[in-house]
């Protein structure tokens, strides 16, 4: 009779404990076994703020950088699988295994020993919640794990001293005793390589931060409405939050205006930029295709070795060789000069338009010796010299001559009166006001009191004579 009562009490205690766990933790954290006598608990270890992950790799790993460091808020859970014996909790403890991606088997073995100790201290009582709290709150302290933390794979030594240490209460690490303990089926480090481990930690941290964000309420900084995180989005660098409806309108306006590099955080003076994935999530397919195309084009424009096919109907990006000025379009097979964008002309200097000639003069005069030499090689010294001579001639004509009001021919006045006759079109005009004069009575303009040039026939000449005297 006593044995039956004890068995019934154990069954009730087990059921009560499982129901309590189901009410505390959600389905992602606790799953009851189909048999009803066990389950799986995924324990997230409490991390301090700005917990840093450190990895010093070698060429054997697949990570691009030999050194890697990042800050995480969550690490993959420690998984506790348990099964109740018939006489739990009165006599026997739960049978259990521990697995983790970021704790080595030596560290997991130490956790198993501590769970055994907790059972001995609470023998006769349910113990799962105490185990969970220990794994959650005391794992880092008991293992002396601090930021920056460098994980390792079982059988590999840490690359920095003090990265992995066991507390004295759990015995020495790395010895034959712990290796035997780790191989008894109670511990598993569920990861294949360090590079895989790093990627899985980062992916889990991102996914769990997203989950936490989606379940909380946030204030949109545009419409000032409070909305659930699943209806909002934040910029990764600054963490400023906006509702998806406001960001959708904001992104669409910028993309339609062609401002694909201006999809930054709307906060004043904030430089955080939306990722392509965030843009794709919010805007319609056609607008994202436009965004993607303009973003690619602007990126190509910044590449020094990238030019576009000059044919208006083609415009295909073409990679140019560093030491060659010839580009061949992969789409239309047009061979062109990458400097002047005309048909390839070999070693002959580039032909230049009148508009480009003006730009060339200004660029050459403002350039240093190295740039001047490059321009001379690109366009030829004779072209450069011609451009400079034309500029000097133009400046001289602007200073010392006036254009005929009839045909525009530049005319220099050396001496004589202000009644001028163009040597090209034979038209008469006044040098003072540049007005046209009557062919029959050209001097009437200077004798008419109503004329602006009355008595100014010899105005400039008289002033020059007075200065000579």
Distances (CA, A) of 396 to 3, 257, 355, 408: 121, 45, 20, 16
Q: How far is CA 279 from the centre of its chain?
A: 13
Going by their DSSP bridges, the two strands 95-100 and 187-189 should be labelled as parallel
309 Cβ contact list (under 8 Å, min separation 6): 315, 316, 317, 318, 327, 329, 331, 332, 334, 336
β strands within 390-440, DSSP E:
402-403, 410-411, 419-421, 428-430
Helices (H), 215-334: 244-256, 276-282, 285-301
Determine if the peptide bond prior to 213 is cis (ω within 30°).
no
**DSSP label of 408:** -
Give the Cβ contact number of residue 305 at 10 Å.
Answer: 10
417 is catalytic: yes
Going by their DSSP bridges, the two strands 402-403 and 30-32 should be labelled as unpaired
Of 70, 270, 350, 417, which is the active-site residue?
417
- Neighbour-count burial of 345, counting CB atoms closer than 10 A to its CB (0-12 exposed, 13-18 middle, 19+ buried): middle
Q: Are 267 and 274 in contact (CB under 8 A)?
A: no
Ramachandran region, residue 13 (left: φ > 0; alpha: ψ -120 to 50; beta: rest) = alpha
Active site residues: 417
């Amino acid at each position: 009779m006593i044995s039956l009562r004890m068995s019934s009490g154990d069954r009730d205690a087990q059921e009560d404990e499982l129901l309590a766990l189901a009410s505390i933790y959600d389905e992602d954290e606790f799953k009851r076994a189909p048999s009803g006598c066990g389950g799986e608990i995924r324990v997230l270890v409490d991390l301090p703020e700005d917990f840093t992950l450190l990895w010093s790799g070698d060429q054997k790993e697949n990570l691009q950088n030999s050194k890697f460091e990042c800050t995480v808020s969550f690490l993959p859970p420690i998984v506790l699988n348990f099964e109740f014996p018939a006489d739990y909790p009165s006599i026997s403890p739960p049978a259990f295994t521990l697995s983790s991606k970021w704790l080595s088997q030596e560290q997991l073995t130490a956790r198993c020993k501590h769970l055994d100790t907790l059972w001995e201290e609470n023998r006769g009582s349910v113990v799962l919640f105490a185990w969970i709290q220990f794994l959650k709150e005391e794992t880092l302290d008991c293992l002396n794990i601090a930021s920056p933390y460098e994980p390792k794979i079982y059988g590999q030594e840490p690359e920095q001293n003090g990265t992995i240490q066991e507390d004295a209460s759990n015995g020495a690490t790395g010895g034959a005793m712990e290796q035997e303990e780790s191989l008894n089926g109670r511990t598993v480090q569920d990861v294949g390589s360090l590079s895989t481990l790093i990627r899985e930690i980062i992916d889990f941290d991102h996914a769990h931060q997203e989950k936490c964000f989606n379940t909380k309420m946030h204030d949109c900084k545009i419409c000032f409405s409070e909305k659930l995180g699943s209806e909002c989005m934040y910029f990764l660098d600054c963490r400023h939050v906006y509702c998806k409806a406001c960001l959708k309108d904001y992104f669409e306006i910028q993309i339609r205006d062609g401002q694909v590099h201006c999809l930054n955080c709307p906060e004043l003076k904030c430089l955080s930029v939306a990722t392509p994935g965030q843009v794709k999530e919010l805007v319609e397919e056609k607008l994202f295709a436009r965004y993607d195309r303009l973003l690619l084009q602007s990126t190509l424009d910044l590449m020094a070795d990238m030019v576009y096919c000059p044919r208006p109907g083609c415009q295909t990006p073409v990679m140019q060789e560093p030491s060659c000025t010839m580009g061949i379009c992969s789409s239309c097979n047009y061979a062109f000069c990458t400097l002047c964008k005309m048909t390839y002309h070999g070693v002959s200097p580039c032909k230049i338009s009148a508009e480009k000639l003006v730009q060339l003069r200004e660029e050459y005069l403002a350039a240093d010796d190295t740039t001047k030499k490059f321009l001379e090689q690109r366009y030829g010294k004779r072209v450069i010299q011609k451009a400079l001579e034309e500029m000097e001639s133009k400046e001289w004509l602007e200073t010392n001559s006036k254009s005929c009001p009839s045909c525009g021919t530049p005319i220099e006045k050396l001496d004589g009166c202000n009644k001028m006759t163009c040597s090209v079109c034979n038209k008469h005009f006044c040098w003072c006001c540049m007005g046209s004069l009557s062919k029959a009575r050209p001097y009437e303009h200077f004798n008419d009191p109503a004329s602006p040039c009355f008595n100014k026939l010899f105005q400039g000449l008289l002033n020059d004579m007075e200065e000579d005297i």
